[in-house]
């Protein structure tokens, strides 16, 4: 099958692809959530790309952003590696269009190529990558072993794979109160749902990488946290996350919890956009693995 990929224009890989885990099958709001996450946690992301640079070296020219979403990794890595270009791979044309448009706005269009493909089935036409970045995306893929074999084939010998996974949507509310307990119950309900829909979430990626011939050189879990004074956008981020949680859990949690969620996004005194007690926090786990030379 021919794969048409253009700088800053969405390309079409598997045109018959009907993957249901992609963002197109989920409610709206995710692209803005991803962009806000990137903006709010920019300093954390800079530290993470610095760690990648220590392992990957200076001469990184070709980067693959696997499950790129709106381009959090793409843009952070283009900044970190000023002469590199990125192939952004995603199964969602809407995500790739947004990424391509952001690349043009930032005058980075000539350094970004988008590729619409099911990354679980391999990376068509992608070879000799110095670095593959896969953030919050591997758990979406149907068969991790096939996906990792595709990543290994796309990397040059000695090339680096950086995997990041998050423990779900961030938390926002104080733990020691009714609101925190509600948030914990929602996360438990979401956990049950994800176990059905995304069976590879929370997988033992270290072992899977090693089994795929990508030995892990560094593994780390970090708590990313933002406290008052919160950066601009934190309330909006919390609002979008709770709106999404409410939509997902409707019919799966009790009426009382649903009403409490409504109050968090209803514009009244409990609304997360007005509260001064938010702490934005999540745990990010990373694995750095290398294709042997």
Q: Is 140 in the site for ligand SAM (CB under 6 A)?
A: yes
Neighbours of 197 (CB within 10 A): 13
Binding-residue total with ligand SAM (CB under 6 A) = 23
Closest CA to 108 of 69, 82, 135, 70: 82
Are 201 and 39 spatial neighbours (Cβ–Cβ below 8 Å)? no
Q: Is 112 in the site for ligand SAM (CB under 6 A)?
A: no
Q: Is 165 in the site for ligand SAM (CB under 6 A)?
A: no
Q: Which stretch binds ligand SAM (CB under 6 A): 7-15, 20-28, 232-240, 266-274?
A: 20-28
In the set 84, 135, 155, 226, which binds ligand SAM (CB under 6 A)?
135
Q: Which stretch binds ligand SAM (CB under 6 A): 43-51, 84-92, 261-269, 282-290?
A: 84-92
Least distance CB 92 / ligand SAM (angstroms): 4
Shortest Cβ contact with ligand SAM: which residue? 69
In the set 13, 120, 122, 235, which binds ligand SAM (CB under 6 A)?
120
Are 77 and 84 spatial neighbours (Cβ–Cβ below 8 Å)? yes
In the set 8, 49, 68, 286, which binds ligand SAM (CB under 6 A)?
68
Taking the CA atoms of 218, 191, 199 and 14 in sequence, report the sign of the dihedral they define.
Answer: negative
Q: Is 170 in the site for ligand SAM (CB under 6 A)?
A: no
Pairing mode, strands 112-116 and 129-135: unpaired
Which residues are 280's β-sheet partners? 226
* SS3 call for 84: coil
- Which of residues 123 and 238 has its CB atom nearest to ligand SAM in the complex? 123
Q: Who's near 64: CB < 8 A, 6+ residues apart?
A: 86, 87, 89, 123, 126, 129, 131, 132, 133, 151, 154
The binding site for ligand SAM (CB under 6 A) comprises 19, 21-23, 34, 67-69, 72-73, 89-92, 95, 118-120, 135-137, 140-141
């Amino acid at each position: 099958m021919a794969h048409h990929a253009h700088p800053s224009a969405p390309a079409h890989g598997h045109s018959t692809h009907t993957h249901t885990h992609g963002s197109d099958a989920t409610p709206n709001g995710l692209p803005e959530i991803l962009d806000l996450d990137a903006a709010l946690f920019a300093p954390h992301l800079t530290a993470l790309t610095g760690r990648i640079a220590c392992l990957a070296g200076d001469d990184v020219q070709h980067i693959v952003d696997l499950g790129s979403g709106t381009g959090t990794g793409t843009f952070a890595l283009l900044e970190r590696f000023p002469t590199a270009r990125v192939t952004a791979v995603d199964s969602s044309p809407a995500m790739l269009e947004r990424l391509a448009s952001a690349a043009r706005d930032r005058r980075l269009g000539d350094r970004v190529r988008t590729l619409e493909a099911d990354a679980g089935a391999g990376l068509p036409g992608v070879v000799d990558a110095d670095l593959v970045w896969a953030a919050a995306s591997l758990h979406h893929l149907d068969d991790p072993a096939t996906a990792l074999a595709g990543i290994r084939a796309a990397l040059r010998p000695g090339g680096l794979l950086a995997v990041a996974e998050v423990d779900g949507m961030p938390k926002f509310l104080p733990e020691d109160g009714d609101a925190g307990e509600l948030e914990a119950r929602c996360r438990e309900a979401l956990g049950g749902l994800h176990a059905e829909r995304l069976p590879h979430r929370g997988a033992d990626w270290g072992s899977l990488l090693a089994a795929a011939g990508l030995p892990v050189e560094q593994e780390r879990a970090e708590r990313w946290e933002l406290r008052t004074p919160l950066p601009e956008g934190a309330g909006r981020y919390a609002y979008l996350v709770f709106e999404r949680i409410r939509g997902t859990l409707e019919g799966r949690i009790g009426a009382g919890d649903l009403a409490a969620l409504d109050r968090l996004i209803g514009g009244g005194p409990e609304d997360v956009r007005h509260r001064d007690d938010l702490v934005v926090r999540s745990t990010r786990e990373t694995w750095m693995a290398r294709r042997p030379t």
